[in-house]
Amino acid sequence: MMKTGMIGLGAMGLGMARNLAKAGFLTAVYNRTAAKTAEFKVAVFDSPEALAADVDLVLICVSADQDVLSVVEAIALTVKSGTIVVDMSTVSSETAKKADAILAEKQVAFLDAPVSGGVEGAKNGKLAMMVGGDLEALEKARPVLEALAARIIYMGATGSGQATKAVNQIMGAGINQAVTEALAFAQAQGLALDKVIDVISGGASGNWFLQHRGWTMTQGTFAPGFKLALHHKDLKICQSMAAQTGFSTPITDMTISHYAQLMADGYGDEDISALYRLKKP
């Protein structure tokens, strides 16, 4: 069996690590803030490089581009050739290519494998995973990844997993705009919001975000979830990827400026449904 280590026990990584442990794959963990490792009955390391030396498969779920690159640089110091490194963070395709180049020098395969499905998906092991990189490495890692994801789709060369995730993030911005605006309108109309959410969820406009965040946003509860500042980071990536091909993204641009306003007001750590704050009557 592949010895598997998890780096990053945040809102997503914690649920992932628990599922890996339940399936019997997890042998090691590392988290920058050590307290979050306390519940795991596996080897706990105090640096990414110490973990990397001890496993065959390294799974990463940290915040942003620079975090992934600093973790990968640390891993590269000690990693054994033949190890597979899978990054499940949401970063740019360019970062995935840089990480791949750093690890290729050590004969280590790198997969960019961002996920969708929220903290609920991470907790339930039902994420959707979009993977770029070496197909052979994916097939070796797949039995372990199946403990995390209900759907694992191979997209092609390194960076194509992250490009697919950018598609998902642009769509998420539009859905957030649509659901927050529509429910604020419902509130302004004086409708019973629980019934609005119930009936619309069963029709053609029904969607995950409405079902999972519709009620809480109308009650003014915005516990993450998916932190608004992280989606802002993702949309900036999408915006720059789009600009490189002269493609215009008006919904993405608008959402970035709405999020920037909310972040300036101190709401960056709230769930993305906090966009409702700007729409409510």
Active centre residues (catalytic): 165
Q: Pattern of binders to ligand NAP over 83-112, x per CB under 6 A?
A: ------xx----------------------
Minimum CB–partner distance for residue 1 and ligand NAP (Å): 25
* Closest to 79 measured CA to CA, from 46, 113, 102: 102
* Closest to 79 measured CA to CA, from 65, 98, 58: 58
Give yes or no for residue 62 binding ligand NAP (CB under 6 A). yes
CB nearer to ligand NAP: pick between 186 and 209: 209
Give yes or no for residue 70 binding ligand NAP (CB under 6 A). yes
Place of tokens 């973990």: 51
Among 26, 84, 119, 186, binds ligand NAP (CB under 6 A): 119
CA dihedral 70, 266, 118, 167 (to 10 degrees): -70
User: Both tokens of residue 228?
Assistant: 């608004």
- Whole-number Å distance between alpha carbons of 108 and 188: 56
Give yes or no for residue 67 binding ligand NAP (CB under 6 A). yes
Supply φ then ψ for residue 27, to 5 degrees.
Answer: -120, -15
Report which residue type is found at 103. L
Q: Which residue is nearest to ligand NAP (CB)?
A: 10
SS3 152: strand
Per CB under 6 A, contacts with ligand NAP among 1-60 are 8-13, 31-33, 36
User: Both tokens of residue 140?
Assistant: 């070796």
- By rule CB under 6 A, what count of residues binds ligand NAP? 26
CB nearer to ligand NAP: pick between 73 and 253: 73
Give yes or no for residue 129 binding ligand NAP (CB under 6 A). no
- Whole-number Å distance between alpha carbons of 4 and 43: 11
Question: What are the residues binding ligand NAP (CB under 6 A)?
Answer: 8-13, 31-33, 36, 61-63, 67, 70-71, 89-90, 115-116, 118-119, 226-227, 230, 234
